[in-house]
């Protein structure tokens, strides 16, 4: 088996940058994360563990501009690849993924679908822009009680309060994600367009230079060897941004009961 050697995760880069990204970098991250997840959804899969550690940079073989989505251990088919029949909405499911970025419905035990990946991306973007989320650092006597506190905080805090200090597009993004019905196909073109319009309104330009990204500017200032280059993926990697390619994940497991079968 041949696997791509990729670079630091976005969590690693976030730490390198003092746990705060510039608005420009967050908007460029948003565009690539949404593109990766849209492709995954087109392959009938949901990720179910969107978090900074599961998105990595190209490892210095390219420009440092390309972000890959990794770790499909919790991914699952949300619809049948031939009939396109969507899995049914069920309740009483276990929390799946990382609680910090989990959707409210995931906390509530509702079966995940495309909307949940999108909501998790929203929390990641606010985390990057503000340096943290209000439900971090909560103390409890057990993991179960802590997850309940996180859920209650997410439910109680309003979207405008969560996104205070961020451009209004971030609140609009989260409101849109939370409004989606279980089987709805998210309009990712609309979401990417909203963030791209904000990018342009700020006077930002994407020069396809590694120095467009906060972490590469830090490397350059400290004597690193990052150089300007194309913003495409490094040669030899999956051009869609999936570490190791998507082919190995097309057999992702699905519960027997997901398409009307009996529960084991």
Q: Encode pLDDT of 80-104 as tens digits.
A: 999 999 999 999 999 999 999 999 9
Per the domain annotation, does 222 fall within a domain? yes
Residue 233: which domain range?
10-256
Residue 204 structure tokens: 């930002």
pLDDT of residue 76: 98
Per the domain annotation, does 138 fall within a domain? yes
62 compared with 206, residue with greater pLDDT: 206
Domain of 134: which CATH number? 1.10.510.10
Per the domain annotation, does 219 fall within a domain? yes
Contact 174, 30 (CB under 8 A): no
Segment 30-35 mean pLDDT: 98
Could you give the count of Cα atoms lying within 13 Å of 132 in the half-sphere of its Cβ? Answer: 6
Segment 180-202 mean pLDDT: 98
**If residue 182 lies in a helix (H) or strand (E), which one and from where to where?**
none
Contact 57, 6 (CB under 8 A): yes
pLDDT of residue 93: 97
pLDDT of residue 212: 86
Per the domain annotation, does 262 fall within a domain? no
Total number of residues shown for the chain:
264
Domain count, the chain: 1
Residues 209, 65: Cα–Cα separation, whole Å: 8
Residue 166 structure tokens: 């961020």
Please provide the DSSP assignment of 7-27 as one string.
--BHHHHHHHTTS---HHHHH
Per the domain annotation, does 214 fall within a domain? yes
Task: Tell me which DSSP letter residue 85 carries.
Answer: P
Per the domain annotation, does 1 fall within a domain? no
Q: Residue 78: which pLDDT band, with cuts at 50, 70 and 90?
A: very high
The dihedrals phi and psi of 107, each to the nearest 5 degrees, come to: -60, -35
Segment 58-79 mean pLDDT: 85
Q: Is the pLDDT of residue 199 over 90?
A: yes
Least Cα distance to 191 among 202, 179, 182 occurs for 179
Q: Is the pLDDT of residue 244 over 80?
A: no
Q: Is the pLDDT of residue 68 over 80?
A: yes
Q: Which residues contact 118 (CB under 8 A, 6 or more apart)?
A: 34, 37, 177, 180, 186, 188, 191
Residues 11, 37: Cα–Cα separation, whole Å: 18
Per the domain annotation, does 211 fall within a domain? yes
How would you label 107-140 residue by residue, b for 16+ Cβ within 10 Å and e otherwise? beebbbbbbbbbbbbbbbbbbbbbeebebeeeee
pLDDT of residue 148: 98
The number of beta carbons lying within 10 Å of the beta carbon of residue 256 is 11
Contact 194, 172 (CB under 8 A): yes
Contact 137, 126 (CB under 8 A): no
Q: pLDDT over 70 for what percent of the chain?
A: 81
Segment 210-218 mean pLDDT: 86
Mean pLDDT lowest for which of 14-28, 72-86, 139-153, 225-239? 225-239
Q: Residue 232: which pLDDT band, with cuts at 50, 70 and 90?
A: very low
Per the domain annotation, does 19 fall within a domain? yes
Q: Which residues are catalytic?
A: 49
Q: Residue 240: which pLDDT band, with cuts at 50, 70 and 90?
A: low
């Amino acid at each position: 088996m041949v696997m791509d050697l990729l670079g630091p995760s976005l969590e690693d880069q976030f730490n390198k940058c003092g746990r705060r990204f510039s608005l420009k970098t967050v908007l460029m991250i948003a565009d690539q994360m949404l593109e990766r997840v849209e492709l995954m959804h087109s392959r009938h899969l949901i990720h179910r563990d969107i978090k900074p550690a599961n998105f990595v940079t190209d490892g210095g073989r390219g420009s440092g501009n390309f972000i890959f989505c990794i770790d499909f251990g919790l991914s699952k088919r949300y619809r049948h690849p031939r009939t396109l029949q969507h899995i049914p909405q069920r309740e009483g499911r276990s929390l799946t993924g990382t609680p910090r970025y989990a959707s409210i419905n995931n906390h509530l035990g509702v079966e995940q679908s495309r909307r949940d990946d999108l909501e998790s991306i929203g929390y990641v973007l606010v985390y990057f822009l503000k340096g943290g989320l209000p439900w971090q650092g909560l103390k409890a006597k057990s993991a179960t009680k802590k997850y309940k506190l996180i859920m209650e905080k997410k439910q109680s805090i309003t979207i405008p309060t969560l996104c205070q200090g961020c451009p209004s597009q971030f609140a609009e993004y989260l409101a849109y994600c939370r409004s989606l019905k279980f089987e709805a196909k998210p309009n990712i073109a609309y979401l990417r367009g909203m963030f791209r319009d904000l990018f342009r309104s700020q006077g930002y330009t994407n020069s396809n230079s590694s120095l467009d990204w906060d972490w590469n500017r830090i490397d350059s200032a400290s004597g690193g060897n990052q150089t300007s280059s194309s913003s495409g993926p490094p040669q030899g990697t999956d051009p869609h941004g999936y570490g190791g390619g998507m082919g190995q994940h097309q057999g992702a497991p699905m519960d027997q009961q997901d398409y009307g079968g009996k529960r084991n």
